[in-house]
């Protein structure tokens, strides 16, 4: 069993920041995928490729939504990581204050 438990909150905040950044990037990708100008390709594909183009448009829209949901999950994970880091810091501060108060009470 380990002698103590430690959490490096600076590293946790770094991870949280990276997750928030990735969430933003994923959101931008999801938007780009979902607004791809499929209709502009219609003259190139013509009537023969219309069926393919319709399937491509539907798939692009779904992928845009899926990537958007992933972006939301990654962003929420970053927020949770940052909240946990703050919780560790707050608990550490409170324990330190309680120990100091106890020592002062014993010395008095």
Listing DSSP states for 61-88 in one string gives HHHHHHHHHHHHHHHHHHHHHHHHHHHH
The total of structural domains in the chain comes to 1
Query: In the prediction, which pLDDT does 101 show?
Result: 80
Question: Is the residue at 50 inside a domain?
Answer: yes
43 located within any domain = yes
Q: What is the pLDDT of residues 25-83, one digit of tens each?
A: 999 999 998 888 888 888 998 888 999 999 999 999 999 999 999 999 999 999 999 99
What integer pLDDT is reported at residue 106 of this predicted model? 84
Whether residue 106 is contained in a domain is answered as: no
**Band of residue 102 on the pLDDT scale cut at 50, 70, 90:** confident
Which pLDDT band holds residue 2 (cuts at 50, 70, 90)?
A: low
- The answer to whether position 55 is within a domain reads yes
Q: Report pTM.
A: 0.73
User: Rounded to whole angstroms, how far apart are CA atoms 81 and 88?
Assistant: 11
């Amino acid at each position: 069993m380990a002698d103590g438990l430690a959490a490096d909150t600076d590293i946790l905040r770094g991870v949280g920041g990276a997750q928030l950044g990735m969430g933003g990037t994923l959101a931008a990708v999801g938007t780009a995928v979902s607004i791809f100008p499929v209709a502009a390709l219609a003259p190139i594909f013509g009537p023969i490729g219309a069926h393919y183009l319709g399937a491509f448009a539907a798939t692009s829209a779904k992928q845009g939504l899926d990537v958007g949901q992933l972006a939301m999950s990654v962003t929420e994970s970053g927020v949770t990581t940052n909240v946990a880091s703050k919780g560790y810091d707050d608990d550490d501060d409170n324990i330190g204050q309680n120990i100091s108060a106890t020592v002062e009470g014993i010395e008095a």
